[in-house]
Structure 1
Amino acid sequence: MLRAIAAAQPGPVEEGTVGAGTGTVAFGWKGGIGVASRRLPRALDGYTVGVLVQANFGGVLQMAGLPVGQALGQYYLADVVEPGAADGSIMIVIATDAPLSDRNLARLARRGLAGLARTGAAFSDGSGDYALAFSTAESVRRTPERRAQLATVVELPNARVSPLFEAAIEATEEAILNALCMATTLTGHRGVTVEALPLERVAALVRAR
């Protein structure tokens, strides 16, 4: 992990069947890594919210309210599928430059699950759905110096965090869909093949809407 942090650099994040996303499955199709972000307008403080997901879960895929999974005939509980078909462990990481307290970061993380729900996730019994959030704002860092004495921490008040919640919901939903759209068909352990989401068929569904 320390090597990964040391090697981190700015720029586009690779999405799809990469890294920890290589072995993932989402809605029965190939899952993967997805990212998305939102920047609030200046009138709402101009903060940025970025989301990275490792999409690995099940349910009935929806894209902008369109029941894609149902239309394509691949979804949780269709024809009494085998137990565990909706299981998995999605990881949602939310970053922001807004100066949020630990309490409001926990609230922000929970909004990631609202974005997950928008995609049609089943939140099944065996599904581990994890979300965490952190702030890059220097004013809320708990440094050793601040912990050793009385310190002033500048943070955003509760009354101004709701726009960040909406940003986290939207970005999480988009990041999951990006993971699905960027993933490629993969044959892995024991020769098991997981097909990528058929984007041409999805596009046809959108056009016919």
Structure 2
Amino acid sequence: MPPSQPPARARDLGVLIGTLPTGPLNAITDVPGVRVGQTTIDDGADLHTGVTAIVPADYRGLPAAVAVGNGYGKLVGSTQVDELGVIETPILLTGTLSVFRVADALLTWLLDRDPAATSLNPVVGETNDGFLSDIRRRPITPEHVVAALDSASADLPAEGCAGAGTGTCALGFKAGIGTASRRLSNGGVLGVLVQANFSGTLTVLGTPIPATEAVGEPGGNSCMIVVATDLPLDARQLGRVARRAVFAMGRVGSDFAPGSGDYAIAFSTTRSAAFDEGELRGVFQATTEAVEEALLNSLTAAHSVTGYQGHTRYAVPHHLVTAASTQL
């Protein structure tokens, strides 16, 4: 068993991704108006799950798009986002079998705030945390959802074993929630939050770090990526951004297994879409850099967990990550 180690962000371990500068927090909450709230369920035994809420300040009708890498998953509300090119609600993440309870609770929260509403499209994504958590118990309650929504703040979100990432694993190690951001030369900000739970071989700056103790876990299990920006992108352009977010999973070693649901949702906090197509190159770079760093943060910030039926997933040893960063 690896020795215990304090959580750290990839940048703290010497891993510098790309060339663009980060925002002040290096988080999705660097995008003005974007807040994150989380509820964590961890009983120290069979339950390791939770809810993560991404809450734009004025979410009704924001330009948005969804990209699907592998469609083996449940992303509630995605078809209407595809059809209309907007989101109407906050974006929530949770465990697979709790996704419908979370969607219903989100709908109730929204109806309570809009007595005139007769049609709303809750957007809720998931990954399967059943290796470490008793997923059949579906422990998420409306109170957990409301707590995540009402606690949303512009602070640095907790990473690793927090919220919807409490029981997730990736690339043979314990993973969870990760976030990162990039500032562009035109003054815009792009931020990312991930729920990492997929298979492959962890790769840090091109150096593979195979997991030697990852046994008993099926391949796949999914990844949710949320991209936010204040740049005035329209839904079509955001679709291009979302696809690059999925592509970026390959930079950390995803094998894009057929049993994995890999999704990206990209939205803009600016409704007046008027972005020069020729400037998308920088946006794509910001996206791939931020997603790569967020995915690494989801791993380096996590701690080892023993959960359901005694299953254990260990945190990636930080000295291996640091060593990889020096091999360039």
Q: How would you bin the TM-score normalised by the shorter chain? A: 0.7 to 0.9
The equivalent residue for 2:297 is 178
TM-score by length of 1: 0.81
Residue correspondence of structure 1 range 34-45 to structure 2 within 5 A:
34-41=178-185, 45=186
Residues 128/202 of structure 1: CA separation in 2 closer, same or farther (3 Å cut): same
1:101 to 1:157, Cα distance in 2 relative to 1, 3 A = same
Give secondary structure in 1 for the equivalent of 2:203. coil
Q: Which amino acid aligns with 2:203?
A: Q
State the 1:195 CA deviation: 0.7
Moved more, 29-38 or 159-168: 159-168
**1:22 aligns to what?**
166
Is 1:157 the counterpart of 2:276? The answer is yes
CA contact (8 A) 1:27 1:74 kept: no
Alpha-carbon deviations, 1:133-191, whole Å to 9, x = none?
0000142xxxxxxxxxxxxxx42031122211110000000000000000000111112
> Counterpart of 1:118 in structure 2: which amino acid?
R
Distance 1:161 1:208, change over 3 A: closer
Judge conservation of contact 1:27–1:86 (CA < 8 Å) in 2.
no
- Gaps in structure 1 of 5+ consecutive residues: 76-80, 140-153
Q: Which residue of 2 aligns with 1:127?
A: 260
SS at match of 2:204: coil
Contact 2:172–2:202 (Cα < 8 Å) also in 1: no
Q: How does 1:1-209 map to 2 (within 5 A)?
A: 1=106, 2=109, 3=146, 4-41=148-185, 45-69=186-210, 73=212, 85-139=218-272, 154-207=273-326
Using structure 2 for the length normalisation, give the TM-score. 0.53
The alpha carbon displacement at 1:6 in A equals 4.1
Deviation at 1:207, TM superposition (A): 4.3
More helix, by proportion: 1
| Equivalent AA in structure 2 for residue 120 of structure 1 | G
Percent identity over the alignment?
A: 45
The structure with the largest strand share of the pair is 2
Post-superposition Cα deviations, 1:91-123, rounded to whole Å, max 9, x if no partner, equal 000000001111111111111012111011000
Q: d(CA) in 2 for partners of 1:101 and 1:205?
A: 38
2-side partners of 1:68 and 1:196: how far apart? 12
Mapped to 2, the partners of 1:36 and 1:208 lie a distance apart of 23
Conserved? CA contact 2:189–2:229, under 8 Å: yes
CA contact (8 A) 1:24 1:55 kept: yes
